[in-house]
Structure 1
Amino acid sequence: MFLHSLTVAGLRRFRNPVALTGFDPGINIIYGPNECGKSTLIWGLILAFLNRHNVSGEEIARFRPWGTALNPIIKVEFTAGGKRYRLDKGFLDEARCTLSEWTGGGYQDLARGKAADEMVFQMMQAQMAGRGLTKSSQWGLAHLLWMPQDRERLTAPALTGNVQDYFRESLGSTIFTPADDRLLAVIDRKYSEIYTQKRGVLQARSPVHQARQRLEEIKEQLATLRQALEQVNQVVAELETQQARHEALQQELAGLRAREKGLKEQVEAIKTLQAGCRQAEAELKTATTIWEKLKTEWRRVNELEESINLANAEMNQEKDSLASLGNAWQEAGQKLGAAEERLATLENELGRARKALQQSYDRQQARERLVRIGELSRRLKKARQVTARIAALEGELARQPLPGQEEVKTVTETWNRINSLEAEARAMGLSINFRAYRDLELSVTTAAGREKRRVGPDQPLLLDATDRLALEIPGAGLLEVRSGSRDLHKLLQEIAGLRQDLEHTLAAFGVASVDELQERYNWSVRQRTELKALGDNLGQVLGPGNTLEAMEKQVLTEQTALAEQCAALGITGEELLALPGPDITPLKVQVKNLQEEEEKQKQVVTQLRQQFQDLERRLAEEQKKLETLQARIRAAREERARRLEAWGGSAAKLQAELVAAETARSNKTLTLEELKRRLPANAAEIEQEANRVEKKREELEREILVVRDKLTSLKTQLDLSSGQGLYSRLAGLEEEYELACAEYQHAARYARAIWLLHLIMHNRRDQMLNSLTGPVRQEVSDLFQQITGRRERSVELNADLSLAGLKVGVADPQPLDVFSVGTQEQLMVAIRLALGRFLGAGERQLVVLDDALVNTDAGRRSRILDLLAAAAEKLQIIILTCHPENYSGLKGRLFNVEELG
């Protein structure tokens, strides 16, 4: 199959119809920038050849141009099986399919709708999808030969479905006979009834699986029944064991109860003594609390008395320090006032000096501006003069037409050509020597004009003419001579044409001769030279980047600024010019001295102010400290009085009450020690032992209850088992198990036989397919070695042509993703070319490469181009790329997608 034309409309970015016509039978390159629609054109072929016209769903709807309700329409003209066809296909709301055949006078409809789809699918050896778009593995020949931009572009194609038979027929080989195919179909059907296709495990509905499942069920029932009988025997043994256990526990419980009673009597006596101890401890704690509180109050009263005495002594010292600081503070304030007054005087003097200095600066600046204005005015006057001269010269040049250098050169060459041609004409023309016997006045007419000439015996007439000559002899007649040379006639015609052109050119510039034209050109050159010199002079006068208008504006601005400065100084421009320049140096010295003195005085003021503030701060701190001491004394006296209020303000009463509390505390301590002495040393152990015995007794009682429950349960189980007939049921299940074993073995032998037949037939088929695809493997390896320039590399393919790996030397085949993306691309191209070579043996096939060499270097790409050029003799190759310069070496048809619409 190969294409003649492709038209798409309503397909992604192509809203309006876009047509590619006149496909070359060999190389076709479709190029354009990214996202211009190259891959969309290929998807047009995929939709036309490999998808049903009535396909529906979200996948086909995405092919509509974004934001429109347009429907994809594709028309393809192609040749397949030696016949030319036209396919007209629409989708979605315009779903249709018409296949037409070329009959010599035009296209005649061949099939429509589903029938047309099926015929095209058969041509492509493709499989029709049940629903949705067709998967790439179902594309048939396109799956083998096309390399679109999709997720599987770096995955090698495989022989599936109808393509296997088509591939076999293309190579003229036979894999299976029709009888073999029918037998394999029967075996596959039987195999699928028993085993799953993907994993090869038993089907759940297969007889062998069901027989094995029945056998397992009976086996589980036998195991359950045998387990039940075993459990009955275990129950009898367990019942005897639990009865003996119950009697032993009853005896142990009676002993624990007697021991628990004696221990509890001892514990009650110990608890009575412990209660007395706790009461004595509480009374001791109360007496101790009273004593400690009184002791704390007594200690605090003594501490307050000492604090009052210390604070009075410290307050006297602070009063003396405060008086000394007050005197120093007053003295510092007086010094600070004098220093600040001196600083204010210096600031006033400095202000007056700065004002005088600024006035001097302003007057000097005004004088400088006055001088600058004078200089600018002189430059402005000169610039105006130069500008006037430039205008006059430009006016002179504009008043008359002036020739250029090329025009002068052309006129001069024309004039020289005329002279050369005339000399040549004269050499080819007439020559006359007329000698008169007496003096005569003749009229001579030549191509140059008419003139009078005198001749005589001593004055012959020698004439040279080009093509004609006339002599008028008075009283004798007219002698006319003409030349019959055709070459001379052509020369004279050329001379006349050149003279006419020359006259027109000279008349256009108002001159009569070539010399005058040259003189006018020389004059214009001199004028333009002078004009350029004046322009350069004007640029120097105005300055870089300046203009006459800008200079005039600058002069006006300077004059305005000068007037404002003079007004501020209170003088006129003439007075400013008459006044001497200001002497700024003494004023600067004065300002500098005053500034230095001011800075020094500021430092003095800062130091004195800091000293004054420090003294003031210390004075405030001392005053605050004195007030704090006074407050502390008052607070201590108030607290002492408050604490002694309970004892009538008497410290002696507090001391007496403290002695009484200490005596009571000692008596309570003696009572507690006596009670503790009467307690047994192992009182805690006796109580723990009583608790342990009680806990043990409770555990035995609970255990006895559990044993009683077990005895009841075991007796119940024995009663139930005796009525189930377990032994008779066991005999029946054993007989049923033997029958199930025989049924399962029969089904298993049948399944094994089907599995072996399936394995043998498919192995035979794969071996024959492997022998068929062997030449393809060799061809792919040869092409890949030519592309990469590495002979040690070979390609390993499976029997269905899917890629098994890439072998380097003697190493094991490596998966493709180990190698670079560029190498993977090159291998995929090699596989398409190899398959195309074998499939194209019967008829030309279509190979599509969509940006297949994006990651390929220049060297390998050059070798691939050579292979593509050779393959184009048997294949039609469509290359899509955004880099057409990479394929400039290929001869074929070029399509610019941007120019298509």
Structure 2
Amino acid sequence: MKLCSLRVEHLRQFRQPLQVRDLGPGINVFTGPNESGKSTLVRAIRAAFFERHKSNSVDDLQPWGDSSAAPSVQLEFDWQGARWKLSKSFLKHKRCDLDIAGQRLNGDEAEEKLAELLGYQLPGRGASKAEHWGIPGLLWIEQGCGQDIREPLGYASGYLKSVLGASLGEVASSAGDEIIAQVERQRAVLLTATGRPTGDYADIQRRYIDTEAQLREADAAIATYRQQVDRLGELRRQQEEDAPRPWEAYRQQALQARERLAEVRGWQQAQQQEEKDLQHCTGNQRLCREQLASFARQQEDLALRAAELKKAEQALGDRQAQRSAIEARQVAAQAAYHQADETLKLARRHARRAALAGELAQADRELSGLDDKLNQARTLQAELLGWQGQLQANPLDAAALKRLRAQSQRLGELEIAQQAVATRLQFELLPAQHIRLGEEDLVGQGQRLLLEPVDINIPGTGRLRIQPGGEDIADLARRRQAAQDGFAALLGEFRVDSLAQAEERAEQRRALQEDIRRGELQLGHSAPKGVDELHNQQALLRQRRQAIEQELAGLPEPDANTIDAATAELALEQAREQLKNAEQAASRYETEHSLALQAVHNAQAEWQRLQDSVQAPGRQQQEKEIADRLIDLQAREGTLRRSMDLRRQQIEAANPDILDQDIKRFSGTADALEDAARRRALELAGLQSKLEALGANDLEERRAELARQFEYMGRRRGELDQRAAALQLLLDLLRAKRQALTRRIQAPLQRHLNHYLQLLFPQARLSVNEDLLPQQLVRAIDGHEEHGDFDALSFGAREQMGLISRLAYADLLKEAGRPTLIILDDALVHSDPPRLAQMKRILFDAAQRHQILLFTCHPDNWRDLGVAPISMQSLQAAD
């Protein structure tokens, strides 16, 4: 099959006709950027074949925003030496025509013929879907779907298998497969599809496991019963040992240890009190020593403060000698700064004058531009007012014209209906003879339509009265007269004489509306915010110009001594830096002078304070009293330490920690013995009750019954295990035989797959399953075979394998004498450059046997295919 030409009109973005001619028998590459119409052409081809011409579910074919359009597609292709011409239109004008070398088919008959030829189905109602597309759905790859092959192959597999000459359905219906079905049914009684037990088999498995668990529980219960009997005897023996109440002796020993510990705690409290007295004594000694050391330090500090006072007075004299030089430097820097500041102000005024002159020139230019825009906007505004007045005078819009057309069409239909039921009077008179029909003389031969009663006068004979039709003709006449009155009323309402004049007036209104829209756009461009806003801008700009002229008049003219503002600013910055340095020096001097003066005052005050303290009355007496007190405190410390040593030895000999442990040990032992006796009594009572209950349950008899049931279920389970295993083995053998037959059926397809695959991966194999779906890719990498499932391959690799599979299917169809056409919409976009180069070799090889339409927005990737690309822009420009 070779597609020769394609023409679309009123289809999506192609409102005007677009035609593709002279398509080649091999690869045809269509290039263009996104939104240039490539996918629209693909959709047009799909619609021509897949969509019923009567379908109301193809609104997506209409141009955007135009619900009144009737999309149409015409294409021509050659098949078996004949030229096939298909013309199909949708929605508003539903039609399908097929010309096969002069043989014409129309409507459903034409569509069924195409579906039978290409191997697809037409939808019963609604839009066509993937499940209807069959072989074309497999060979025509939509954008972004190259890697998806499972679903389209599922819809085309029946057709492909029929091409092979035998299908898996025929194999399954043979006697061998009937046996497989019987074995599967018998196996299904025992096992699920995943091999898990079901039905009686699952029930006996469950019962076997439950009985085994019950048997284990019975054994455990018997063992527990025996253990509890032994435990009861042990508890009774221990209860006899508890009769003397041994825990009371341990409680008496704990009481004695507690009394001894209380005595030792009294010694510890006395020891803690003497420790506090010792700390107080040593603290007072430390305070006395610190006071005596303070008196000694005051004498040393007095000599040090006298030296510091002399040094501070000398530093103050040195600072006061520097005052005059620092003040002179600051005055000179201030004068230089003021002079530089005045110079800069003058330079800035001159610079401002120059800037204002530039602003004045810019304002003149802007004012001239605003004048032009304002004049243009006023002219456009006047034209718009005129057009809008004409538009108001012409009420014939599209809705009114539609009403007129509808009324005219209704009037025409009534006239046709009236003529169809009118009485026809045919006459053929002899020469020189005539008759009179109403007010008309009839001679010769002719025909008249009679719509109402009329008299026929025959000279020399008499008069005939003809009453045409009946109630229908009269009703039609009344309806026609009402329609004619309504049409005349509409003509009068819209102030026109005919439908043609109304259409002319409607076209004039549409042209006026277009002029108004274009004028509004131009006015919006010239005056986005309106003519008044332009006028306000003009007034504001004139005010700004006047303000600039006034400011210029107040600024001085530059002279020969004028310097630029940058130079003046640099001079001012230097003067400011010098003034800043002088001020910082003066500030540092004042700070240092103040600090020196403060140092003299502080040194004088410190020396005087120490002098007064050293010469204070009673100073020597205070020192003597502190020394005597220190001696007394040292004697007190010795007494306390000897007392504490003796008591510490006494406490250590008593060992209070061991006494505390004895209390805990004896008390815990008594509590534990008493608690154990109490718990043994409770356990003994409970155990006696349990043993009485267990002894009444006949554990041994129940265990024997469970053992008999377990043995029976084990035998039954073994029988079903053997049957399930046998059925599974038989089913596996039968399926293996059928798979061998399937592989022989798949051989032609495998041969085509291997042919293409060698161009991509030498020595590689791509296996297919019984549904002809790619299953596993086997290839050599670094000397080792690598096995990869199709679904586990990368996105790009799956896309490449999907295309290779489709080309193999196409070869299979061609060998079987079936038509093929391959459409690739932006395919292989996920292939890396080396892999893409190999895929192009594969496509070029396939193009020797099939026509391929390749649509792409990456023309650089496909320039080495040996064909000239067809540019979408050139197609649109040509049409």
Distance 1:66 1:158, change over 3 A: closer
Distance 1:267 1:778, change over 3 A: same
Cα displacement (A) at 1:843: 1.3
Map 1:408-807; keep pairs closer than 5 Å. Answer: 565=559, 617-630=595-608, 666-679=638-651, 680-785=653-758, 787-788=759-760, 791-798=762-769, 800-807=772-779
Deviations 1:528-559 (A, max 9, x none): xxxxxxxxxxxxxxxxxxxxxxxxxxxxxxxx
Distance 2:9 2:203 in 1: 58
Q: Counterpart of 1:832 in structure 2: which amino acid?
A: R
Cα displacement (A) at 1:837: 1.0
Q: Counterpart of 1:34 in structure 2: which amino acid?
A: N
Structure 1: runs of 5+ lacking an equivalent: 356-562, 570-598
Does the CA contact (< 8 Å) of 1:81 and 1:843 recur in 2? no
One of 839, 847, 855 as aligned partner of 2:822: 847
* Structure-2 residue corresponding to 1:108: 107
Distance 1:217 1:51 in 2: 63
Q: How many residues align?
A: 631
One of 281, 300, 310 as aligned partner of 1:291: 281
The SS at the match of 1:237 is helix
Deviations 1:421-464 (A, max 9, x none): xxxxxxxxxxxxxxxxxxxxxxxxxxxxxxxxxxxxxxxxxxxx
Cα displacement (A) at 1:822: 7.3
Distance 1:39 1:658, change over 3 A: same
* Structure-1 residue corresponding to 2:260: 269
Distance 2:178 2:818 in 1: 30
Distance 1:765 1:42, change over 3 A: farther
Distance 1:76 1:249 in 2: 114
* Structure-2 residue corresponding to 1:222: 215
Distance 1:72 1:732 in 2: 87
Query: Which range is displaced more, 744-753 or 153-162?
Result: 153-162
Q: Counterpart of 1:279 in structure 2: which amino acid?
A: A
One of 134, 144, 154 as aligned partner of 1:150: 144
The SS at the match of 1:808 is strand
Distance 1:723 1:52 in 2: 85
Distance 2:190 2:226 in 1: 45
Does the CA contact (< 8 Å) of 2:764 and 2:780 recur in 1? yes
Deviations 1:665-714 (A, max 9, x none): 55554444444444435443243233223223322333333333332332
Deviations 1:727-772 (A, max 9, x none): 3433443444444445544544554444334323332222112122
The SS at the match of 1:842 is coil
Tell which structure's C-alpha radius of gyration is larger.
1
* Structure-1 residue corresponding to 2:857: 882
Compute the TM-score of the two structures, normalised by the length of structure 1.
0.55
One of 223, 233, 245 as aligned partner of 1:240: 233
Q: Counterpart of 1:766 in structure 2: which amino acid?
A: Q
Does the CA contact (< 8 Å) of 1:55 and 1:133 recur in 2? no
Query: Which range is displaced more, 731-740 or 15-24?
Result: 15-24
Distance 1:332 1:242 in 2: 112
Q: Counterpart of 2:846 in structure 1: which amino acid?
A: L
* Structure-1 residue corresponding to 2:548: none
Q: Counterpart of 2:698 in structure 1: which amino acid?
A: G
Does the CA contact (< 8 Å) of 1:29 and 1:880 recur in 2? yes
Distance 1:567 1:794, change over 3 A: closer
Give me the identity figure in percent: 18
Distance 1:623 1:849, change over 3 A: same
1:815 aligns with 2:802: no
Does the CA contact (< 8 Å) of 1:101 and 1:109 recur in 2? no
Cα displacement (A) at 1:624: 2.6
Q: Counterpart of 2:812 in structure 1: which amino acid?
A: F
Q: Counterpart of 1:179 in structure 2: which amino acid?
A: S
One of 303, 307, 310 as aligned partner of 1:317: 307
RMSD of aligned Cα (Å)? 6.1
Distance 1:159 1:182 in 2: 29
Distance 1:184 1:708, change over 3 A: same
Map 1:69-88; keep pairs closer than 5 Å. Answer: none
Distance 2:312 2:627 in 1: 41
Distance 1:183 1:111 in 2: 44
Cα displacement (A) at 1:718: 0.9
* Structure-2 residue corresponding to 1:595: none
Cα displacement (A) at 1:812: 1.7
Does the CA contact (< 8 Å) of 2:768 and 2:775 recur in 1? yes
Q: Counterpart of 1:808 in structure 2: which amino acid?
A: A
Distance 1:603 1:102, change over 3 A: closer
Distance 1:44 1:611, change over 3 A: same
The SS at the match of 2:821 is strand
Q: Counterpart of 2:841 in structure 1: which amino acid?
A: R
The SS at the match of 1:815 is strand
The SS at the match of 1:871 is coil
One of 811, 835, 841 as aligned partner of 2:809: 835
Distance 1:23 1:335, change over 3 A: closer
Deviations 1:456-501 (A, max 9, x none): xxxxxxxxxxxxxxxxxxxxxxxxxxxxxxxxxxxxxxxxxxxxxx
Query: Which range is displaced more, 60-69 or 813-822?
Result: 60-69
Does the CA contact (< 8 Å) of 2:254 and 2:664 recur in 1? no
Map 1:360-371; keep pairs closer than 5 Å. Answer: none
Deviations 1:19-42 (A, max 9, x none): 877795944544322354534665
Cα displacement (A) at 1:661: 5.4
The SS at the match of 2:689 is helix
Does the CA contact (< 8 Å) of 2:779 and 2:786 recur in 1? yes
Q: Counterpart of 1:169 in structure 2: which amino acid?
A: S
Distance 1:732 1:777, change over 3 A: same
Distance 2:644 2:127 in 1: 101
One of 207, 210, 222 as aligned partner of 2:200: 207
Distance 2:294 2:641 in 1: 32
Map 1:288-437; keep pairs closer than 5 Å. Answer: 288-333=278-323
1:868 aligns with 2:846: yes
The SS at the match of 1:211 is helix
Deviations 1:250-275 (A, max 9, x none): 67x61x64355246425423431430
Does the CA contact (< 8 Å) of 1:796 and 1:807 recur in 2? no
Q: Counterpart of 2:747 in structure 1: which amino acid?
A: G
Cα displacement (A) at 1:202: 2.0
Distance 1:637 1:733, change over 3 A: farther
Does the CA contact (< 8 Å) of 1:806 and 1:814 recur in 2? yes
Distance 1:861 1:737, change over 3 A: closer
The SS at the match of 2:33 is coil
Distance 1:693 1:870 in 2: 108
Distance 2:765 2:804 in 1: 12
